[in-house]
């Protein structure tokens, strides 16, 4: 091969190498460019995933808030705060459609407090919660709600100028624009049951991405759900402490409030007063006009009480026609003025289908008259009964009692019963109960509590009735009290009833336990033993005790039936003391709803039906009727 041939071949080979290197260079450049594009896409997707994750975390936080029992205002404040920073938003708030004496308007429901809110307040020259927005037909806000759509505005000044009821100073607007970076305003409708409003979000960007709008739309729906749940919590909470007929506080709330107020009064050495009010002649209204008319009268009382109560007062319905009002910081003279204003307002109230109504009112003052909460209730109650028995439609100021109370009589009676060892009761248990009774048990307010008496009776009752539920004694006395009120018993008879309710069954402890728990039919001899227990309780156990002689006839005849078929004396009709009749029907009801060795417990409805079937036989028809009304009131809170 010649030199020139070699050079030619070498040149062609070199060109092929160069071509290959050029092609590989282009391939490398293309791969490099593809890698750069892929890295950018990965970075973009990573950022999108970060934002999506942040969005999910934000929505999860909102969900946690929604499922808490916190108040709505607190939930909304947390939700608005969680939105701040998402998509780098500058500010967010919720305005709500509201109404007052001046008409309908939009006002702030909740807002994020930061430097932006301060600048906004400076621009508006007003506190945000006091700022009103126009709600004129055709305005931007109305259109957002009407069309239920998201809108965003680049001209924030135009929006504020349109919805504010006053003209903003130019210098304030310019100062606001200068000090905040917001370029657009996003508005989202918030419509839930009982709530109409707008979520307002200030963004640093003029253009809003679809991803933002989708997120904010979802966020707004979560807020609506949060409002629904929070309102449900508030409704349930309100139902737990209010009477359904009158929407006043119920007995449970009243008793808690009374204890709290007593603690506060003693700590500050500041009196408070208690008004005890009883609607006159409700039984007559129910009997002659029907229970619908009675309910209308009760509602009228609640309306008048609400109109005449301060925001700090605690008005409650604690029974059928019985109401109480706690007046914090009010002495006896101030309470008398308030009670008389209430009485005259009630007298002037006209109830459709009923006419004018009246009430008997008692007034007592804590610290000034007594430092004992139980005694406060007792003397207020006694004053109310005095007003009722001396002509009704009047106010009576309570008087401090020098006589021994029914609770003290009961304590003394149980100490003597347990100490005498006349009953087959374990000495250790008896000594422990005596020690508790004599220890002057005190509550936070330094008062003797009736709860101790109830516990003692529950403990004794469980010795001969193992299925006796704790708390039953208190429930029995409350039901008996509600029935007795309908017969307008005197305060003295009410005290006898309470005392008798604690002691009426003490004779049962003398009956052999195997007899009480027997599952088969009793023999005649066994029945004779059972029928003697009222006499045993009254004569052998209670007669030697001072201060209880007046209730012995009541206890002796608490098993007499209306038709004369009862025991021990076969008394019938009105020959049976009314208090004995009340004890019988209450005892029968609670015996039915508790389990026995020979049968399962009745439901409340089954027990009531059973008692209804014995009207005119075991109980008078009037007693059964009032028992049913009392049961209705006693379970108002359920």
β-bridge pairing 395-397 and 359-366? parallel
pLDDT at 575: 93
Starting at the edge strand that comes first in sequence, how are the strands of the sheet with 103-111 ordered?
132-133, 103-111, 91-100, 195-203, 184-192, 151-153
Last residue of a domain, one of 207, 239, 271: 239
d(CA 591, CA 598): 12
pLDDT at 469: 81
Are 134 and 264 in the same domain? no
**Does a structural domain hold residue 332?**
yes
Last residue of a domain, one of 354, 378, 397: 397
**Does a structural domain hold residue 23?**
no
pLDDT at 540: 73
Task: Give the CATH number of the domain where residue 118 resides.
Answer: 3.30.450.40
Cβ–Cβ < 8 Å for 67, 229: yes
Walk along the chain (638 residues) in steps of 10 and give the mean pLDDT of each run. Answer: 64 68 66 68 60 53 53 69 69 85 82 80 83 78 84 82 77 78 88 86 85 81 78 69 89 90 90 95 89 93 94 90 94 94 95 94 93 87 88 90 72 82 75 78 49 84 76 90 86 87 76 57 64 66 77 89 91 94 94 82 92 95 92 64
Are 378 and 423 in the same domain? no
Task: Give the CATH number of the domain where residue 290 resides.
Answer: 3.30.70.270
Are 566 and 436 in the same domain? yes
394: left (phi over 0), alpha (psi -120 to 50) or beta: beta
Are 334 and 273 in the same domain? yes
Are 86 and 124 in the same domain? yes
pLDDT at 293: 93
Total domains in the chain come to 3
Are 558 and 417 in the same domain? yes
Are 260 and 155 in the same domain? no
Are 487 and 346 in the same domain? no
**Does a structural domain hold residue 531?**
yes
pLDDT at 546: 64
d(CA 194, CA 146): 16
pLDDT at 635: 62
In sequence order, the 6+-apart residues with CB closer than 8 A to the CB of 53 are none
**Does a structural domain hold residue 600?**
yes
Give 166's DSSP letter: S
pLDDT at 121: 85
| 135: three-class secondary structure by DSSP | coil
| 358: three-class secondary structure by DSSP | coil
ω into residue 49 within 30 of 0, thus cis? no
Are 229 and 330 in the same domain? no
**Does a structural domain hold residue 266?**
yes
- First-to-final CA distance of the chain: 117
Are 314 and 431 in the same domain? no
**Does a structural domain hold residue 567?**
yes
Are 465 and 510 in the same domain? yes
Are 212 and 286 in the same domain? no
- What range defines the domain where residue 300 resides? 251-397
d(CA 509, CA 537): 9
196: left (phi over 0), alpha (psi -120 to 50) or beta: beta
In sequence order, the 6+-apart residues with CB closer than 8 A to the CB of 141 are 95, 106, 133, 135, 163, 187, 198
Task: Give the CATH number of the domain where residue 510 resides.
Answer: 1.10.3210.10
**Does a structural domain hold residue 210?**
yes
β-bridge pairing 359-366 and 355-356? unpaired
| Strand (E) or helix (H) holding 190 | strand 184-192
pLDDT, tens digit, for every residue of 356-388? 999 999 999 999 998 888 889 989 988 998 898
| Residues paired with residue 92 on neighbouring β-strands, in sequence order | 201
**Does a structural domain hold residue 106?**
yes
d(CA 410, CA 215): 69
Output the furthest CA–CA distance in the chain (Å, rounded): 155
| Residues paired with residue 107 on neighbouring β-strands, in sequence order | 96, 132
Last residue of a domain, one of 397, 423, 446: 397
């Amino acid at each position: 091969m010649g030199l020139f041939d070699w050079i030619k071949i070498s040149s062609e080979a070199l060109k092929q190498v160069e071509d290959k290197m050029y092609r590989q260079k282009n391939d490398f450049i293309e791969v490099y460019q593809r890698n750069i594009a892929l890295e950018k896409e990965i970075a973009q997707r990573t950022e999108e995933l970060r934002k999506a994750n942040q969005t999910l975390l934000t929505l999860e936080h909102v969900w946690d808030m929604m499922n808490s029992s916190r108040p709505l205002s607190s939930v909304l404040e947390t939700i608005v705060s969680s939105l701040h920073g998402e998509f780098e938003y500058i500010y967010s708030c919720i305005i709500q459609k509201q109404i007052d004496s001046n008409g309908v308007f939009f006002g702030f429901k909740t807002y994020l407090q930061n430097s932006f809110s301060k600048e906004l307040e400076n621009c508006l020259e007003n506190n945000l919660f006091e700022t009103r927005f126009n709600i004129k037909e055709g305005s931007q806000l109305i259109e957002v709600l009407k069309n239920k759509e998201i809108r965003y505005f680049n001209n924030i000044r135009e929006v504020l100028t349109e919805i504010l009821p006053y003209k903003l100073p130019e210098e304030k607007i310019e100062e606001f624009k200068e000090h905040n970076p917001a370029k657009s305003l996003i508005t989202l409708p918030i419509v839930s049951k009982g709530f109409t409003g707008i979520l307002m979000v200030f963004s640093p960007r003029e253009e809003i991405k679809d991803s933002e709008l989708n997120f904010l739309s979802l966020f707004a729906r979560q807020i609506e759900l949060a409002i629904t749940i929070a309102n449900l919590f508030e409704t349930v909470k309100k139902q737990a402490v209010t009477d359904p007929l009158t929407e006043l506080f119920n007995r449970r709330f009243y008793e808690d409030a009374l204890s709290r107020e007593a603690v506060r009064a003693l700590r500050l050495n500041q009196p408070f007063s208690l008004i005890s009010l009883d609607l006159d002649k409700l039984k007559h209204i129910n009997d002659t006009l029907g229970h619908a008319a009675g309910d209308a009268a009760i509602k009228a009382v609640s309306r008048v009480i609400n109109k005449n109560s301060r925001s700090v007062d605690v008005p409650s319905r604690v029974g059928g026609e019985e109401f109480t009002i706690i007046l914090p910081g009010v002495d006896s003279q101030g309470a008398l003025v308030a009670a008389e204003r209430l009485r005259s307002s009630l007298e002037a109230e006209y109830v459709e289908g009923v006419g004018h109504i009246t009430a008997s009112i008692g007034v007592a003052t804590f610290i000034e008259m007594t430092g004992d909460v139980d005694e406060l209730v007792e003397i207020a109650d006694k004053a109310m009964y005095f007003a009722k028995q001396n002509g009704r439609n009047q106010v009576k100021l309570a008087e401090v009692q020098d006589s021994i109370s029914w609770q003290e009589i009961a304590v003394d009676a149980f100490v003597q019963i347990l100490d005498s060892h006349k009953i087959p009761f374990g000495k250790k248990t008896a000594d422990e109960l005596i020690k508790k009774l004599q220890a002057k048990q005190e509550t936070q307010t330094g008062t003797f509590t009736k709860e101790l008496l109830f516990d003692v009776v529950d403990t004794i009752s469980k010795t001969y009735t193992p299925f006796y539920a704790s708390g039953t004694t208190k429930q029995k006395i409350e039901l008996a009290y509600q029935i007795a009120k309908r017969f307008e018993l005197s305060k003295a008879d009410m005290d006898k009833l309470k005392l008798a309710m604690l002691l009426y069954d003490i004779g049962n402890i003398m009956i052999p336990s195997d007899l009480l728990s027997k599952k088969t039919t009793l023999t005649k001899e066994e029945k004779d033993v059972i029928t003697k227990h009222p006499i045993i309780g009254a004569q052998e156990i209670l007669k030697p005790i001072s201060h209880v002689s007046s209730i012995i006839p009541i206890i002796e005849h608490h098993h007499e039936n209306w038709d004369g078929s009862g025991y021990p004396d076969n008394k019938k009709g009105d020959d049976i003391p009314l208090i004995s009749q009340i004890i019988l029907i209450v005892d029968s009801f609670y015996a039915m709803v508790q389990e026995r060795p020979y049968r399962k417990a009745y439901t409340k409805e089954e027990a009531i039906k059973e008692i209804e079937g014995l009207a005119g036989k075991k109980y008078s028809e009037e007693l059964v009727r009032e028992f049913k009304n009392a049961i209705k009131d006693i379970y108002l809170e359920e």
